[in-house]
C-alpha cells in the first residue's frame, strides 16, 4: 500500500512538473509576443504623429498659397513644391503604416466586442488614453444599455462624420467611433467599416431582444424540462441495464465463471471473478452517468441567453486538460523514445551480467581469487550502480528537469531517504562486508556474541540463527559486524573441531590412569574421530585436586550437544567402572575409608574384587 502511495505521489509530482514547464514556456512566449507588439506599436505611433505634423504643415502651406497675390509666382511655386513633397511623404508614410499594421495583424488579435453572445467587431488600437480593452468594454456597456431601453428603436441609430472619425450616435449619445486606423486594421475604407459597425450593432440588439422575449423563454423552459426528463430516463436506463447484467453474471456462476486454478490451488474463486466484473460495471455505470450529465448541461445552458456563455466554459474544463496533456505527450515523445532506448540497452546489459553471475555462482565459470558466493552479491551491487547511472543519463530527458520545483522535490526526496534509512543502510553495508569477509555461510554452526546455532538465512539486513532449542534469532548485520564470530564448521573438513571438557581428580590417582580411562571414554563416543586420537591435558594443579582437560576431534559440529552428553556419560561409566570417583571442584569428603562416593552397583563390584 505504501508503494502505491509513493507511486501516486511520484505521478502527481511528475504531472505537476509537466504543467509547470508548459506554463513557463507559455509565459515566456507571451512575454516575447507582448514585447514585439509594443515595439511595433511604438513605430506605428511615430508614423502617425509624423503624418499629423505633415498634415498640419500642409494645411498651413495651403492657407499661405491662397493668401498670396497673383504677382508672387516664385513664392507660389515654392509653396506648391513643398505641398507636393508633403503629399508624397504622406503617401510613403501611409504605405509604411499599412505595412506595420499587416505585420502586427498576426500578433495583435485585438479585443472582441461581445455585448451579448456573439462578437460584432474587434478593436485593435488605442485612441487617446483609452486602451483597446477599455474601448471594447465601453461599447459593450452602451449597446447593452440601448438593448434594455425599450424606448430605443434600432432605426434611430445614425452615422455622422467629423474631421477625423465616423461616429455612431443615438440621439446625443456616442455609441462607437471609427477612425482611419481602425479601417486600416480591418483592411476596409473608413465609411465602409462604419456602416458595417452600424449594421452589426443593430442586428445584435434585434437578436438579443428576440432571444429574451417571453416566447423564447417559454420554449427554453419547455425544452429544458424535456432534456432533464430525457437525461433522467437515460440515467435510470443505465442503472437498470447494469443491474440486469449483474443478475445475468450471477446466474452464470459455475458455468462461465469457474474460478482460476493452478495445479489444484484456487488462485481466484468464481465469487471473486464476479465481484471484480461487478466493480468494473459500477465504474462503467458512473462514467456513463457523468458523461450523460456533462453532455446535458451545455444543452440546458445554451437554451437561455443569460447562461449560454457557461456552456463552453464547462466543456473547456473537460477538454482543455485532455488537450494540454495530449499536446504535452506529443511534444515529449522524442525524449520518451530516447529514454526507452536507453532503458532497453541497460536491461540487456543487466541480463548479460546476471548470466555471468549465475554461472559463477553455479561453479561453471571460475576466476582465481573470486569465490562463487561473491557472485550474486557483486551482481546486486553492480545492478544498483547501473541503475544510479541510468537515472543520471535519463534525468535530463524528464519534462521540467531544469525547473526549480523538480530540483527541490528531488533534493527533498533524497534528504528524506537519507534520514529515514540510516539504520537500514548501515545494515546493508554490514551485510555486504560480511559476504566478502566470508565469516560464515548458510548451514554453518556459529556463535555470534551470546547466540549459538546454525545459520539459516543471510540477507543484506539481517542474519538468522536457529539454536539447538529450535529458536530462530534474528541478528542485525551491523550487530554481527560489531561482535566476534566463532565458526565451528568453516574448516572442519581439513581440521576437525576439538570437543573438550574438564574433570578433577585427587592427587593420589595416577595421571596415567586418568589419561587411559579418559581416552577409553572418548573411543566409546561414535561421533568422535579415532584419528586424530584424543589427547588429555593437565590444565591446573589446585589445592585438593588436579584438573584434567579431555580433548577429542569431531567432524560433526552441528551435534555438539549430543556429543558432549555422550562423552560425559561414558566418562562417568568408565571411571566408575575403574573404581575412581569423580570429585567436584567444590566437593570435599572427610571419611574413615568405609564408604565410597559412587553408584551402588559400582560399590558392589569394588567389594567383590576386594574379596
Residues 132 and 197 in one domain: yes
Q: What does the pLDDT read at residue 101?
A: 64
pLDDT of residue 196 exceeding 80, the answer is yes
Residues 180, 143 within the same domain: yes
Q: When comparing pLDDT for 14 and 452, which is higher?
A: 452
- The predicted model gives 115-132 an average pLDDT of 83
Q: What pLDDT is recorded for position 93?
A: 64
Residue 4 has pLDDT above 50, yes or no: no
Three-class secondary structure assignment of 174-188: EEEEEEHHHHHHHCC
Take residue 56 and report the three cell numbers written for it: 498640419
Do 50 and 154 reside in the same domain of the chain?
A: no
pLDDT of residue 233: 94
pLDDT for position 359: 86
pLDDT of residue 221: 86
Q: Are residues 26 and 78 in the same domain?
A: yes
How many CB atoms neighbour CB 133 within 10 A? 11
- The answer as to whether 262 is a domain residue is yes
Whether residues 578 and 479 share a domain: the answer is no
* Contact status, residue 582 vs residue 575, Cβ threshold 8 Å: yes
Helix (H) or strand (E) holding 547: strand 546-554
Assess whether pLDDT exceeds 50 at residue 12.
no
- pLDDT at residue 18 tops 50: no
Q: Are residues 10 and 29 in the same domain?
A: yes
What mean pLDDT is predicted for residues 159-176? Answer: 85
pLDDT at residue 552 greater than cutoff 90: yes
> What's the whole-number mean pLDDT along residues 254-273?
71
Same domain, 65 and 136: no
Coil, strand or helix at 385 = helix
Cis peptide before 532 (omega within 30 of 0): yes
- Same domain flag for 506 and 483: no
Number of domains in the chain: 5
Higher pLDDT, 39 or 572: 572
- Check residue 124 and give its pLDDT: 82
d(CA 405, CA 286): 36
Contacts (Cβ under 8 Å, ≥6 apart) of 509:
546, 580
Last residue of a domain, one of 304, 335, 362: 304
Burial track 590-601 (b if 16+ CB lie within 10 A, e otherwise): eeeeeebebeee
Tell me, yes or no, whether 236 lies in a domain: yes
DSSP three-state, residue 556:
coil
The answer to which of 15-29, 124-138, 435-449, 569-583 has the lowest mean pLDDT is: 15-29
Same domain, 529 and 585: yes
Domain assignment of residue 248, given as a range: 215-304
Rounded Cα distance between 447 and 443, Å, is 13
Instruction: Find the mean pLDDT for residues 5-16.
Output: 43
Query: What is the share, in percent, of the chain residues with pLDDT greater than 90?
Result: 22
Instruction: Check whether 278 has a pLDDT greater than 80.
Output: yes
Measure Cα distances from 86 to 58, 72, 82, 95 in Å.
7, 21, 6, 14
* CATH number, domain with residue 595: 3.30.70.100
Residue 554 exposure: Cα atoms within 13 Å on the Cβ side = 24
Q: How do beta strands 260-262 and 265-268 pair?
A: antiparallel
Q: Does some domain include residue 337? A: no
Give pLDDT, residue 499.
Answer: 93
Quote the mean pLDDT of the chain: 79
**73 with 11, same domain?**
yes
The SS3 call for residue 399 is coil
Looking at residue 11, its pLDDT comes to 42
pLDDT value for 13: 44
176, 197, 212 - which closes a domain: 212
CB neighbours of residue 28 within 10 Å: 10
Q: Are residues 224 and 299 in the same domain?
A: yes
Report the chain's terminal Cα–Cα distance, integer Å: 86
CATH number at residue 467: 2.30.30.60
- How big is the CA angle at 233 (ends 228 and 238), to the nearest 5 degrees? 125
In a domain, 340, yes or no: no
Residue 167: inside a domain = yes
User: Hey, which bits of 441-532 come out as E strands?
Assistant: 445-448, 451-458, 462-466, 472-476, 485-487, 497-505
Higher pLDDT, 148 or 557: 557
Q: What pLDDT is attached to residue 408?
A: 77
- 315 φ/ψ angles, rounded to the nearest 5 degrees: -65, -35
Among 576, 565, 444, residue whose Cα is nearest residue 497: 444
DSSP 366: -
453/445 Cα distance (integer angstroms): 5
pLDDT band at 206 (very low <50, low <70, confident <90, very high): confident
pLDDT at 280 over 50: yes
Most trustworthy range by pLDDT among 180-194, 393-407, 502-516, 583-597: 502-516
Q: What does the pLDDT look like over 315-362, one tens digit per residue?
A: 777 778 888 888 888 888 888 899 999 999 999 999 999 998 888 888
Which residue among 288, 304, 320 closes a domain?
A: 304
CA distances in angstroms from 14 to 323, 398, 548, listed in the order given: 17, 9, 75
Model pLDDT for residues 80-105, shown as the tens digit of each residue: 777 777 777 766 666 666 666 666 66
Mean pLDDT check: name the lowest of 9-13, 235-239, 266-270, 364-368.
Answer: 9-13
Q: Is residue 602 part of a domain?
A: yes
Which is more confidently placed, 28 or 33? Answer: 33
Looking at 192-196, 414-418, 531-535, which range is the least confident one? 414-418
pLDDT tens digits, residue range 295-319?
Answer: 888 888 877 777 776 777 777 777 7
In this structure, of 96-105, 197-206, 450-459, the range with the lowest mean pLDDT score is 96-105
Residue 8 confidence class, pLDDT cut points 50, 70, 90:
very low
Residue 422 domain flag = no
The structure's pTM equals 0.44
Residue 55 within any structural domain of the chain: yes
17-23 mean pLDDT? 47
One domain for residues 182 and 225: no
Which pLDDT band holds residue 431 (cuts at 50, 70, 90)? Answer: confident
**pLDDT > 70 in the chain, percent:** 77
Amino acid at each position: 500500500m505504501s508503494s502505491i502511495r509513493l507511486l501516486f505521489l511520484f505521478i502527481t509530482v511528475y504531472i505537476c512538473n509537466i504543467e509547470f514547464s508548459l506554463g513557463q514556456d507559455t509565459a515566456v512566449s507571451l512575454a516575447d509576443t507582448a514585447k514585439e507588439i509594443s515595439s511595433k506599436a511604438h513605430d506605428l505611433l511615430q508614423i502617425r504623429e509624423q503624418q499629423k505634423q505633415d498634415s498640419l504643415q500642409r494645411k498651413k502651406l495651403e492657407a499661405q498659397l491662397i493668401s498670396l497675390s497673383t504677382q508672387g509666382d516664385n513664392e507660389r511655386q515654392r509653396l506648391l513644391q513643398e505641398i507636393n513633397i508633403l503629399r508624397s511623404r504622406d503617401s510613403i508614410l501611409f504605405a509604411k503604416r499599412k505595412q506595420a499594421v499587416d505585420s502586427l495583424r498576426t500578433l495583435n488579435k485585438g479585443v472582441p466586442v461581445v455585448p451579448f453572445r456573439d462578437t460584432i467587431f474587434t478593436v485593435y488600437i488605442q485612441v487617446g488614453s483609452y486602451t483597446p480593452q477599455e474601448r471594447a468594454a465601453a461599447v459593450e456597456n452602451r449597446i447593452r444599455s440601448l438593448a434594455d431601453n425599450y424606448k430605443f428603436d434600432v432605426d434611430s441609430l445614425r452615422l455622422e462624420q467629423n474631421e477625423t472619425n465616423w461616429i455612431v450616435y443615438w440621439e446625443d449619445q456616442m455609441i462607437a467611433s471609427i477612425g482611419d486606423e481602425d479601417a486600416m486594421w480591418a483592411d476596409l475604407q473608413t465609411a465602409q467599416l462604419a456602416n458595417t459597425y452600424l449594421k452589426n450593432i443593430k442586428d445584435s440588439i434585434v437578436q438579443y431582444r428576440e432571444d429574451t422575449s417571453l416566447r423564447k423563454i417559454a420554449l427554453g423552459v419547455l425544452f429544458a424540462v424535456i432534456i432533464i426528463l430525457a437525461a433522467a430516463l437515460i440515467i435510470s436506463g443505465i442503472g437498470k441495464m447494469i443491474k440486469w447484467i449483474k443478475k445475468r453474471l450471477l446466474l452464470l456462476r459455475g458455468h462461465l465463471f469457474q474460478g482460476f486454478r493452478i495445479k489444484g490451488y484456487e488462485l481466484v474463486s468464481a465469487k471473486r471473478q464476479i465481484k471484480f466484473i461487478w466493480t468494473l460495471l459500477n465504474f462503467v455505470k458512473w462514467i456513463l452517468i457523468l458523461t450523460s450529465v456533462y453532455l446535458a448541461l451545455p444543452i440546458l445552458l445554451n437554451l437561455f441567453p443569460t447562461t449560454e456563455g457557461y456552456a463552453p466554459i464547462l466543456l473547456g474544463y473537460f477538454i482543455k486538460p485532455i488537450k494540454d496533456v495530449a499536446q504535452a505527450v506529443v511534444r515529449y515523445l522524442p525524449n520518451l523514445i530516447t529514454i526507452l532506448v536507453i532503458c532497453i540497452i541497460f536491461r540487456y546489459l543487466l541480463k548479460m551480467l546476471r548470466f555471468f553471475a549465475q554461472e559463477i555462482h553455479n561453479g561453471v565459470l571460475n576466476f582465481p581469487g573470486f569465490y562463487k558466493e561473491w557472485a550474486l552479491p557483486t551482481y546486486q551491487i553492480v545492478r544498483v550502480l547501473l541503475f544510479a547511472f541510468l537515472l543520471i543519463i535519463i534525468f535530463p530527458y524528464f519534462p521540467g528537469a531544469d525547473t526549480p520545483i523538480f530540483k527541490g522535490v528531488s533534493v527533498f526526496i533524497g534528504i528524506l531517504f537519507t534520514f529515514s534509512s540510516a539504520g537500514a543502510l548501515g545494515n546493508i553495508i554490514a551485510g555486504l562486508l560480511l559476504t566478502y569477509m566470508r565469516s560464515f555461510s548458510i548451514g554453518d554452526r556459529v556463535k555470534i556474541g551470546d547466540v549459538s546455532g546454525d545459520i539459516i538465512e543471510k540477507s543484506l539486513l539481517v542474519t538468522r540463527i536457529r539454536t539447538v532449542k529450535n529458536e530462530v534469532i534474528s541478528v542485525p548485520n551491523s550487530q554481527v559486524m560489531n561482535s566476534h564470530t566463532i565458526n565451528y564448521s568453516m574448516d572442519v573438513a581439513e581440521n576437525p573441531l576439538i570437543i573438550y571438557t574438564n574433570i578433577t581428580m585427587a592427587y593420589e590417582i595416577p595421571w596415567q590412569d586418568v589419561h587411559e580411562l579418559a581416552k577409553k571414554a572418548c573411543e566409546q563416543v561414535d561421533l568422535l574421530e579415532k584419528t586424530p586420537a584424543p589427547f588429555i591435558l593437565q590444565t591446573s594443579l589446585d589445592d585438593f585436586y588436579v584438573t584434567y582437560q579431555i580433548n577429542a576431534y569431531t567432524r560433526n559440529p552441528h551435534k555438539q550437544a549430543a556429543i558432549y552428553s555422550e562423552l560425559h556419560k561414558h566418562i562417568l561409566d568408565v571411571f566408575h567402572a575403574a573404581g575412581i570417583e569423580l570429585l567436584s571442584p567444590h566437593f570435599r569428603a572427610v571419611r574413615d575409608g568405609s564408604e565410597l562416593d559412587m553408584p551402588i552397583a559400582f560399590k558392589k563390584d569394588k567389594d567383590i574384587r576386594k574379596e
